[in-house]
Structure formats: C-alpha cells, structure tokens
Structure 1
Amino acid sequence: MRQYKANLNPLLSVSLRSREGQVDLLVAYQELRVTFAEWIPAEAQYAAAKSRRSSRVKEVADLRSLAIDKFSWALCAALDFQSAWKGSEASCLVGEILYHVGEWADEVHDASFPLSKEIARRDIAEEISEASAELHLLVCEELSM
C-alpha cells in the first residue's frame, strides 16, 4: 500500500525524474494550482464583503487589495504554465479558466456597492470545477501519471 501511494505522488516518482522536461511541467502545474487556490477564495471573500451592506469601507478595500494581489500571482503562474506547456490542450484550457474567473472578478470589481444578488450568488469555484478536473486529467495524461 505504501509503494502504491508513493507511486501516486509525482514528486517521488523515479520515472518522472528520468524524463527530461517533465519536472518543469509538473512545477508549472503545481504553482498554477497553488496560486489559483489562493486567488479564487480571495475574490470570493471580496465579493462576499462587497455584497453585505454591513461591511465597512476599510474591510472591502483591504479584501479588494488582497484579491488584486492574489490575481497578479495567479496571472504570472498562468503565463508560466502556458510557457511550459506551449501549444498543448492543457495550455488552452488554463487560458479559458483564467479568462472565466477573470471576467467574474471584473464584474465584482466594477459593480457598485452592494453587489447585486445575481453577482453575489455566483459560485465561481463550482463554475470552473469541471474544467479544473479536465485540466488535472490532461496533466496526468501528459506526465503519464
């Protein structure tokens, strides 16, 4: 069972280390996952605060600043991913996910306070869940995991 679990961990896989370029692809994917896992909740927190009439101006401003900061890291990670995965289906899918979340984030940032219920109720993580799962499968397939 331990060996099976070790084989599932791409960082411990001997076969991965022996293939040139595979580590760079995996690093780009992991960085993308980490930054998106920080950016999307930051945007959702900002949207939630902006949708509550009871939110303080400073709270909304601080969450907006955090969301923008997390977006900048996510954008860099997406660009790095696309550079590492040039021309692949995975690269195109990352662009689609980035633009989908980005369009929602723009809606949140551009909307007046408080947010409309329509914008506030969107679950962006759920909206991209299928594409995220497809991306993961594409990455695993490419890396033979």
Structure 2
Amino acid sequence: MSLDIDYYELLEVERTCDDKALKTSYRRLAMQYHPDRNPGDHDAEARFKAISEAYDCLKDPQKRAAYDRFGKAAFQGGGGGGGQGFEGFSDIFENIFGEFMGGGRGGGGRNSVRRGADLRYDLEISFEEAYAGKQASV
C-alpha cells in the first residue's frame, strides 16, 4: 500500500492546526490503525507507520516549517543518475537552528555543548589529490 499523500491529509488536520489538534488527531488515528488492534492487516500497519512518520515530522516546529516549504522532498535523499545523494534539508535545519537556538536538545540548565564541537582542522589539498582520493592523517 503506497501512502504517498500529504502529511496533513494523512493526519486529517488543516495546515493551520495547532499542536493540540495535531496530537489529538494522531492519537485517534494511531489507536485506530495500530497493528495490535488490526493483527494481520498489512494495510493498517502501513497506514500506522505513515501516520507515525507524519506526526514525527509535524510535531517538530523546524521539521514542520521545512515540510510546509518543501514537502516530503525536504527529508528524502535526492540523487539521480548515480551522483551522490543529498542527505535532505532536515539535517541542515537541525545544524543551523541547533547552533543558533542553543542546541535544541537537552534541558534547561544543562550544558548542551557537544564534546569536540570546537575542534577544527583545515587541510589544503589540490584538486587532483581530491579527485584521486588522497588520504591524510590528522
């Protein structure tokens, strides 16, 4: 069962809904399609997974903003034609907003600085060395 539909439609909420309405709808649908309530029903299981994926995205304000702007493409790796795939916008937003907003993880008074976050080493190599896959010890 392919559930390639809009997250808001999947959760049966409006795009302008608040967190409470989002959570209420998610809980209702999760109970309805939970695999324990529908043993052996693979469609219900697929729908439950899709509902959980949608809620995981929309409950986070940063991911929701990215989804509102770019849709599912914000979280899917790109890549076509054998090139290197793009890891998605979610990692970029987590890194950018994480730095500017104090990490976003961890609690109030705790130090949220990651070990080694302040280390940096610039290594200069030529284009040819990069193309050839030069390895260097740091």
What TM-score do you get using the length of structure 1 for normalisation?
0.33
What TM-score do you get using the length of structure 2 for normalisation?
0.34
**Which one scores higher on RCO, CA 8 angstroms, separation ≥ 6?**
1
Greater gyration radius: 2
Higher helix share: 1
